[in-house]
């Protein structure tokens, strides 16, 4: 399993503590104030930790504990899921203490926070999502370039790949909007930009380019094509979802979000349409009883997938969604394929 991106645990934080822990008290002494805030953070008392780290920043920022306190404040905000505050605190840290020893972690926190803000952005707010994804990509890229031996290098590399994939999806969404508005030149330009910069989205981008160059709006209905294996769960041709072949080309160590498992194909089609789930994928399991599955997104680790799952559950008004490892899905599909092959011998 991919290591969780936010790997700075209480054990890691304790390595950064200079001196011994001191019982929390109302004090202006930098050492005692930092120790009290650090203890609160270590014990999971995020509200108290944030309050005390804020006091440390406001009153004794010039002390030796100022840089560490500000960085841990950013981490505490992140743990509270206040990603905008975490991003801002990490930004203050980088500008205020550019030569501090753990600037790579500040960049990492910025990248993660911007990514989480992008994931939480409303589906229609493509500008906000794109801006945050670009910032996330930039911070991860800076970390990898400046700190090639960083402890956060591997997780940053996974996260930057995911941010790039999401940027491709946003670019496709922009192109589809232009196409729907009959802005064909703009749609084709967007499509070319996506095809050039985001290989994972190139196939869909080229389809948009062809539609735009033909000066035709996307078809609202189309004659069904001959079925292919595992295409039974596909919605109508005007909805962009992927097939099992696409899933098989993904990294099996990555994760996805299962939005629906049903024996009602039409229910799956309705969810894809109503939720505008571009970037989703469908597959079919079962021999005696067919089950249709709708999954959405490819995420580099379980934590990011879990955050995305919570956001999608709220946005779509679902009672329950689940995070699944792609390897488990592919193993299930491969197992059923083996059974079918054996039965046909």
CB-side neighbour CA atoms (13 Å) of 270: 5
Q: What is the pLDDT of residues 249-278, one digit of tens each?
A: 778 888 888 888 888 877 777 777 776 665
Q: How far apart are CA 271 and CA 84, in angstroms?
A: 31
Res. 196: pLDDT tops 90: no
**Which pLDDT value is given to residue 122?**
86
pLDDT at 331: 82
**Stated pTM of the model:** 0.59
Query: Are the C-beta atoms of residues 205 and 191 closer than 8 Å to each other?
Result: yes
pLDDT band (50, 70, 90) for residue 335: low
The yes-or-no verdict on residue 99 having pLDDT over 90 is: no
The per-type count for the chain, helices as H runs and strands as E runs, is 14, 5
Helix 66-79 to helix 103-120 angle (10° resolution) is 20
Q: Which of 168-182, 240-254, 319-333 is modeled with the greatest confidence?
A: 168-182
* Residue 137 pLDDT: 94
Categorize the per-residue pLDDT at 100 as very low, low, confident or very high, splitting at 50, 70 and 90: confident
Question: Given strand 255-262, what is the order of strands in its sheet?
Answer: 241-242, 280-285, 291-299, 255-262, 322-325
Whether the predicted pLDDT of 36 surpasses 80:
yes
Q: Which of 21-30, 75-84, 319-328 has the highest mean pLDDT?
A: 75-84
Domain architecture of the chain: domains with CATH? 1-101 (1.25.40.10), 120-218 (1.25.40.10), 241-343 (3.30.70.1070)
């Amino acid at each position: 399993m991919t290591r969780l991106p936010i790997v700075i645990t209480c054990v890691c934080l304790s390595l950064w503590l200079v001196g011994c822990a001191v019982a929390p008290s109302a004090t202006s002494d930098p050492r005692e104030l930092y120790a009290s805030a650090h203890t609160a953070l270590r014990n999971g008392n995020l509200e108290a930790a944030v309050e005390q780290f804020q006091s440390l920043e406001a009153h004794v920022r010039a002390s030796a504990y100022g840089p560490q306190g500000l960085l841990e404040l950013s981490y505490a905000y992140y743990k509270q899921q206040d990603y905008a505050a975490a991003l801002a605190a990490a930004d203050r840290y980088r500008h205020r203490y550019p030569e501090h020893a753990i600037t790579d972690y500040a960049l990492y926190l910025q990248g993660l926070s911007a990514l989480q803000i992008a994931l939480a952005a409303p589906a229609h707010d493509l500008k906000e999502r794109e801006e945050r994804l670009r910032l996330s990509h930039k911070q991860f890229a800076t970390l990898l370039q400046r700190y090639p031996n960083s402890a956060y290098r591997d997780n940053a590399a996974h996260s930057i790949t995911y941010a790039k994939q999401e940027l491709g999806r946003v670019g496709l969404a922009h192109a589809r909007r232009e196409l729907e508005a009959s802005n064909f030149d703009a749609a084709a330009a967007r499509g070319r930009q996506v095809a050039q910069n985001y290989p994972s989205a190139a196939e869909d981008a080229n389809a948009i380019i062809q539609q735009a160059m033909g000066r035709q709006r996307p078809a609202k209905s189309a004659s069904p094509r001959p079925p292919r294996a595992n295409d039974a769960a596909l919605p109508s041709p005007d909805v962009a979802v992927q097939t099992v072949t696409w899933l098989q080309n993904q990294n099996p160590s990555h994760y996805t979000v299962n939005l629906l498992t049903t024996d009602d194909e039409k229910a799956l089609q309705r969810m894809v349409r109503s939720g505008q789930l571009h970037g989703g994928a469908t597959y079919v399991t079962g021999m005696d009883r067919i089950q249709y599955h709708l999954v959405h997104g490819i995420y580099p680790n379980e934590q990011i997938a879990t955050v995305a799952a919570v956001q999608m559950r709220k946005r779509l008004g679902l009672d329950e969604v689940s995070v699944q490892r792609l390897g488990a899905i592919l193993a299930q599909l491969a197992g059923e394929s083996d059974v079918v092959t054996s039965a046909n011998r």
